[in-house]
Structure 1
Amino acid sequence: MDRLLLRRCPAGHYSRPDVLACDICRDADLSWQPASGRGKVISLAVDHDADTTVVVAELDEGPWLVTRLDGPAVARGDAVVVSFAHPEEGEAYPIVTAAPS
């Protein structure tokens, strides 16, 4: 089962999965916490040659996630949800899609 996990410090601040210390208070005592998987588009870049859109999404918990868009186009401020791509080779990775209205 796929689920997005974030790092959380004892003070309750959420950080990206790749950090070693809290982004806010710098506490290194971090635990893994499930994320809601919802957020909104902060920025995006389109590579027309590769037919790929990279999205910066602010998750509801606060951290920003940089990943690919899957599905119809989105715009700045649009709601998105996180799911996971499963390539034939390599690890699964998070992607975002437009949130259902």
Structure 2
Amino acid sequence: MDTTTLSTKPRPTVDAVSRGFWENCRRGILSVQRCDDCGHQHYPGSPVCPNCLSSRQSWAPVSGRGKLVSWVRFHRAYWDSFRAELPYLVCLVRLEEGPLMLSNFAGETPDDPPIGASVKVTFEAVDEALSLPKFRIHA
């Protein structure tokens, strides 16, 4: 897919909570929010830790490896910019570090991706400011 198509799609809202995640993605690093007080790791980011309610949090790099928990095939484009890709797959991945992450598959994907398959993150550059984490199935 070319960056022209990607640049017409809806963009994530980058705010004070999510900025660290998106900056890491741009550098090719997958990260989850980690509580500086209790160590709980979670995604997506939040203003306070869902475990201890501390507001002291940072974005910690993770391995980018995980297991496919679920997936869905979209046959309807909710935004016109996705119409050319129909049908497309969205995946739910449990990272090795524990948090769940909703994303898309990258590269060739089986017609029926096996639940429990090992996946690894890759990054798709939209432009100089935005890279999206996507997952490839690997052995």
| Pairwise same-fold verdict (TM > 0.5) | yes
Give the structure with higher Rg (CA): 2
Is the contact between residue 5 and residue 17 of structure 1 (CA under 8 Å) also seen in structure 2? no
TM-score, length-scaled by structure 2: 0.64
Specify the code of the residue in structure 2 equivalent to 1:84.
F
Q: In 2, Cα distance between the equivalents of 1:23 and 1:81?
A: 26
Is the contact between residue 8 and residue 31 of structure 1 (CA under 8 Å) also seen in structure 2? yes
TM-score, length-scaled by structure 1: 0.85
Q: 1:76 to 1:11 in 2, by over 3 A?
A: same
Trace 1:19-98 onto structure 2 (pairs within 5 A): 19-48=46-75, 50-70=86-106, 71-73=108-110, 74-88=113-127, 91-98=130-137
CA shift for structure 1 position 90: 6.5
**Over residues 28-87 of structure 1, what are the superposed CA-to-partner deviations in whole Å (9 max), with x where a residue is unaligned?**
211221011011111100125613110010111111110101122222111111111112
Question: Could you list the runs of 4 or more consecutive aligned residues of structure 1 that deviate by over 6 angstroms after TM superposition?
Answer: none
Specify the code of the residue in structure 1 equivalent to 2:126.
P
Determine whether 1:12 maps to 2:39: yes
CA shift for structure 1 position 21: 1.9
Q: In 1, Cα distance between the equivalents of 2:109 and 2:34?
A: 32
Structure number with the higher strand fraction is 1
The CA RMSD over aligned residues, in Å, is 1.9
Query: Any stretches of 5+ residues in structure 2 without a counterpart?
Result: 1-26, 77-85
Specify the code of the residue in structure 2 equivalent to 1:8.
R
Give the aligned length.
100
